[in-house]
Structure 1
Amino acid sequence: METVNFDDIFKSSILEKTSSFSIVDSAIGLLAAFFIGLFIYYVYKKTFTGVIYSHTFNISLIIMSMTTALIIIGISSNVMLSLGMVGALSIVRFRTPIKDPMDIVYLFWAIVSGILCGAGFIPLVIIGSILIGLVLILFGNRIKVENPYLLVVRYDETSIEKSMEHVISEHVKKHSVKSKSIMPGNDFEVTYEIRVKENDMSFINNISGIEGVKSAIMLSYDGNFTA
């Protein structure tokens, strides 16, 4: 017959689980994920070539590396916890659109680095991150990004369209009509996608100076347009 003593009543399962993993190894894994995240942060800031730099997105790469490492450290010592974590993560949906493919590369890099740090493959993640960072820095700085622009012109007569096309053709490398509409008051509005020559935007003054043109606006955009 089994006897129950005072220690059995107050036995804590939390203390038993705490002793099943190494605090030192966990701290080393999290610190490694933090420093790898800092390296990813520096490479992203160094190689960013987009229109608007997002500091919050860059900071999230560090947090993502550490969070992923924390998850891997936790589930590596408990099979039941790993199954529960998979089920919990399967219902998470991220609805923030990521339009730049390079941002997806950095997100994947941060997640993989966190997994490797949490699993204890710290030498592998250090070597891999250094090589990936060198490739991004070397090739990222050599890529000349040709930012597209939207040119929105509002005018009152269709007869001046040929004059606008002539001015645009002389000063830009490539252009195409994205939309054309009739505004209230019988005004017309046309939207061009253009590729400028060496960021030369002085031609917009020539367009606005055409008789009949009421406004000419240039906007930088990311390539997505809905008419």
Structure 2
Amino acid sequence: METINFEDIFKSSILEKTSNFSIIDSVIGLIVAFLVGLFIYYVYKKTFSGVIYSHTFNISLIIMSMTTALIIIGISSNVLLSLGMVGALSIVRFRTPIKDPMDIVYLFWAIVAGILCGAGFIPLVVIGSILIGLVLILFGNRVRVENPYLLVVRYNETSIEKTMEHVISEHVKKHSVKSKSIMPGNDFEVTYEVRVKENDMIFINHISNIEGVKSAIMLSYDGNFTA
């Protein structure tokens, strides 16, 4: 008769998988992923040139590098787990739109860094991140992105349109009409895309003082406009 001892009761495949798991290598990979994520965080904050800086997006770059490293560490020693992880991730859908191409670059950088850290290529991820960071800092500080503005003017007489065009032409480098509509009460509203001269916004006061103009506001935007 076969006897069952205490060890046989608690014998599990989980313990067998744990025996092949290196805690030291995993901790080192996660720490390096965190440090690389901090470096990406600093570079993104240093080179950001958009309209509104998103601190939460920048923090997500650190978390993304660490979670990617965690996934790679988990599936590196188990083929079945890797297949299951691919199937699980295939149903994930990200709804948040990313309009700035540079944000996609930073997301891809964080993912690649996490993959390399999880796979144990520590020297490669360190050297590569330093070189990528230097390139982004160098060219990010040299190239200044000039964000346009939207000038929305509401008026009640079409005869003052030439006067508005004249004032705008004198004070901005470039302008174009994006939309024009008739509002309730026989009012008109026109939207210009303007590129100002060294952030000179004084001309909006001249437009507001034109007889017949009810309101004039300036909006900063990222270049995407839907009429």
TM-score, length-normalised on structure 1?
0.97
Q: Secondary structure at the match of 1:195?
A: strand
Q: 1:127, CA displacement in angstroms?
A: 0.3
Q: Secondary structure at the match of 2:178?
A: strand
Q: 1:75, CA displacement in angstroms?
A: 0.3
Structure 1 residue aligned with 2:158: 158
Q: Deviations over 1:92-127 (max 9, x none)?
A: 000101111111000000000000000000000000
Number of aligned residue pairs: give it: 227
Q: Identity over the aligned pairs, expressed in percent?
A: 91
Q: 1:4, CA displacement in angstroms?
A: 5.2
CA distance 1:66–1:11, change in 2 (3 Å): same
- 1:195 and 2:195 are equivalent in the alignment: yes
Q: Deviations over 1:40-91 (max 9, x none)?
A: 0111111111111111111100000000000000000111000000000000
Q: 1:135, CA displacement in angstroms?
A: 0.3
Q: 1:9, CA displacement in angstroms?
A: 2.9
Structure 1 residue aligned with 2:5: 5
- CA distance in 1 between counterparts of 2:79 and 2:3 reads 30
Q: Deviations over 1:7-37 (max 9, x none)?
A: 3232122211111121110011001100000
Segment of structure 1 superposing worse, 4-13 or 54-63: 4-13
Q: Deviations over 1:170-216 (max 9, x none)?
A: 11111111110111110000000111111101000111111100100
Q: 1:6, CA displacement in angstroms?
A: 4.4
- CA distance in 2 between counterparts of 1:33 and 1:59 reads 13
Structure 1 residue aligned with 2:213: 213
Q: Secondary structure at the match of 1:127?
A: helix
Q: Secondary structure at the match of 1:141?
A: helix
Q: Please list, as runs of the form range in 1=range in 2, the aligned pairs for 1:93-172 lying within 5 A after superposition.
A: 93-172=93-172
- CA distance in 2 between counterparts of 1:172 and 1:3 reads 91
Q: 1:2, CA displacement in angstroms?
A: 7.5
- CA distance in 1 between counterparts of 2:213 and 2:139 reads 43
- CA distance in 2 between counterparts of 1:10 and 1:64 reads 36
Moved over 2 A (4+): 1-10
Task: Structure 2 unaligned segments of length 5 or more: list them.
Answer: none
Q: CA RMSD in A?
A: 1.2
Q: 1:224, CA displacement in angstroms?
A: 1.4
Q: Secondary structure at the match of 1:217?
A: strand
- CA distance in 1 between counterparts of 2:179 and 2:65 reads 43
- CA distance in 2 between counterparts of 1:178 and 1:2 reads 86
- CA distance in 2 between counterparts of 1:11 and 1:100 reads 53
Q: Secondary structure at the match of 1:200?
A: coil
Task: Structure 1 unaligned segments of length 5 or more: list them.
Answer: none
Q: Secondary structure at the match of 2:215?
A: strand
- CA distance in 2 between counterparts of 1:46 and 1:223 reads 22
Structure 2 residue aligned with 1:55: 55
Q: Secondary structure at the match of 2:194?
A: strand
- CA distance in 2 between counterparts of 1:4 and 1:138 reads 68
